[in-house]
Amino acid sequence: MTIADKGKVYLVGAGPGDPDLLTVRALRLLESADVVLHDDLVPELVLRLIHKHALVTSVGKRCGRPRITQSGIHSLMIDAARRGLSVVRLKSGDPLVFGRAAEELAALVEAEIPVEVVPGITAAFAAGAALTLPLTDRKSASKLIFVTGHHAEGKDATPVWSGPLPEDATLVVYMPGRDFSSLANDLKRAGVPCDVSCVAISRAATPEQSHTACRLAELAALKSGAAPVLVMIGHAMEPVLAGDAEMVDTMTRTVAASVLTD
């Protein structure tokens, strides 16, 4: 059975939020680690799996405001490991996908602290699974591209996407922000057709999951649920729009029949 090693740091993926989607190795580490430093997006249901005697600290962000600096997180990990404690740095989704893992790995390597990465299910895969929607398709989508709408502090904002988007690609935008108008404008300026399908998924693979869908032409005005949110763009998303349209049509016919009956 996996037991967290003393003096070692584990960068662990918590997955999209459903505890059942944790890897077995991640679960075993949470059950045995001395220290757990977690992101704010890791839900309470996952945190309940941590060993009751572990020191648990939130080092995430609220509304973009960090409780602690990134260098402060590095110090917490390094200091705990040097004291002979086992440390889990628990990150939402997969630690290597838009999770600042490169900075934390570099700090740990420089400090000569043993480190291991434990992968998790990233939000894009959880969203596709929850919608029973393949992100790739032999006929319409042979490419899968991940980008982020969030930029490092002090870095000039650049378009989320520039240049032609391959017709056979699914583009997944992590952290797109609450207002999709900038993303929509970037895609239109890049020449992405206005009739391409777009889906925004809120809190994928959790009980609070919701989604909204539209064409790129309407993306700027699209409203989504609470963060975290993903936006997926491409022809592979077409079944979601078709399904939503069918659902609306069914509801309309049901209401109309009810009115006629009354």
Per-residue pLDDT of 67-117, as tens digits, reads 789 999 999 999 999 999 999 999 999 999 998 999 999 999 999 999 999
Mean per-residue pLDDT for 206-210?
Answer: 90
**Predicted confidence (pLDDT) at residue 221 exceeds the cutoff of 90:** yes
Confidence of residue 249 (pLDDT cuts 50, 70, 90): very low
Q: Could you tell me if 70 and 107 are in contact, meaning their C-beta atoms sit under 8 angstroms apart? A: no
Active site residue 237: no
Geometric angle at alpha carbon 101, from 59 and 43, rounded to 5°: 45
Q: How far is CA 204 from CA 138, 143, 146, 222, in A?
A: 25, 21, 16, 17
Residues above pLDDT 90, as percent of the chain = 72
Whole-number pLDDT of residue 156: 58
Active site residue 139: no
Point out the catalytic residue in the list 8, 18, 34, 39. 39
Point out the catalytic residue in the list 79, 137, 143, 175. 175
Q: Could you tell me if 45 and 22 are in contact, meaning their C-beta atoms sit under 8 angstroms apart? A: no
Whole-number pLDDT of residue 256: 40
Give residue 207's Cα distance to chain centre.
15
Active site residue 188: no
* Arithmetic mean of pLDDT over the chain: 89
Point out the catalytic residue in the list 6, 61, 179, 247. 61
Q: pTM for this structure?
A: 0.87
